[in-house]
Structures are given as structure tokens and as C-alpha cells.
Structure 1
């Protein structure tokens, strides 16, 4: 029996999609994420990354209760991006709890994980 993951991988091949890389890391590295996006795109990869930073003020998450609920939804959305991707690129020289969880999740799915700063790999 073919798994949904195998069907999805086959569909990406049939569509001749280039590799998809998801960028992970602390939002404090927003500029480095933008640079990584540029380099990965130039290399011919489709790039997905965090959409925005909840720590930056905005009317959409000014209510603390809504901000907390939104954080949970964004965490689930980012895990979906990891499932979509062929590999993960972790940006920055610091790994917090959220990024550590994303790395563990990606590895549990068998996704390769690259680091802009390999010394911060929690499994090395």
C-alpha cells in the first residue's frame, strides 16, 4: 500500500517541481532568513519560511489571548511547511525551544536538516 507521503513525493516528481526547502530559526535572524531565501532561490529551490514575527507589534495580534491562540496555529502551519518540504535549513547561531522542536519533527519525518551554523545542531 502506498502511503500519502509516497503519493505526494511521486506527485512532486510528476510535476517536475524543484526541491522545496523550509527555513527554520529564531525570528531574531529575520535578515539572515531573507539572505538564505535569496541564496536558496538562486540555487533553484522553492523556499517556504515563517510568515511573520509575533514579537513585532501588529493589530492582528495585539490582544494577548488572540496572540497565544495564533501562536499555536502558526506552529501547526510551520509543521505543515516541514511536511511539504524536501529539506530544512536552520538559520542562525542560536537554537531555541521552538526551533529545536522543529528540527526534531523534521528528523522524525526523515527530512534532511542543514544549518547555516552547524555547530548549533542539537544532535551533533
Structure 2
């Protein structure tokens, strides 16, 4: 006898993505210090066979920009972006961690992805905090 299908929002999302025939979705995580490597990983994941939909940080808050030049606004924006990135992880089928080391934020993203049962890959396996 098979176990009943869980009717959670996550299960519904997975079923909908399957029904729509969407490619796998990968969320890229890691320090924005590795932005160049993230862009390269995005390129390889998108153009690979089969190609994947890639979600990744689009910019680095450490680089100057008028949108986060005010420290109070920058702190608020950082919080909103962290929540948005957690949504990327929730939406993704898998996570790719880019970079040769992981800080607190990246380790928290890895733990979140694993708590959701998402496969987590590393461009540098030695960066896996659980290895």
C-alpha cells in the first residue's frame, strides 16, 4: 500500500512545475564576493543539457549604488533581499553553492535548503560545512 500524497504547498508547487513541464530550477547561493563565479555558474547551468532555470543574486550590496547608499535603507534592503533569496531556494529544485568558503549567511541558506529536502551541490565540495 502506498503512502498518501501529502497535500502541502510545497508538494502542490512540485506537482505544478511537473505538470507545466518546467526545466529544473537551480538557486545559486554563496557570498557575493564570488559574483564573477556566480555569473559563470549561471551560464553553465543555463546552457547545459538539459538547461536549467537559474535564480541567483543579481548584485552586490557591497558595491556602491544610490539605492543602498543610506545605511538605514541598506539594512532594510538587505533583510528584504534575504527573504527574497529564501523564496528562490523554496522555489528551486536544487541549490548550487558557489565559492571556496561559506560565511554565516551562506551556511544558513544551506541549512534552509537541506531542511526543505533540496539537493545541495558545491562548486568547491570542501566548502560544504557538513562535509
* TM-score of Structure 1 vs Structure 2, range by shorter chain: over 0.9
Counterpart of 1:81 in structure 2 is 88
1:42 CA drift (Å): 1.1
Q: Which runs of 4+ in 1 moved over 6 A?
A: none
Root mean square deviation, CA, Å: 0.7
Counterpart of 1:112 in structure 2 is 119
Q: How many residues align?
A: 124
Structure 1, unaligned runs of 5 or more? none
User: Are positions 1:97 and 2:120 aligned together?
Assistant: no
1:51 CA drift (Å): 2.1
Counterpart of 2:34 in structure 1 is 29
Q: Deviations over 1:37-84 (max 9, x none)?
A: 010001210000012111000000000000001100000000000000
State how 1:9-88 maps to structure 2 within 5 Å: 9-43=14-48, 44-88=51-95
Structure 2, unaligned runs of 5 or more? 1-5
TM-score w.r.t. length of structure 2: 0.93
TM-score w.r.t. length of structure 1: 0.98
1:121 CA drift (Å): 0.3
Determine helix, strand or coil for the equivalent of 2:61.
Answer: coil
Distance 1:92 1:69 in 2: 26
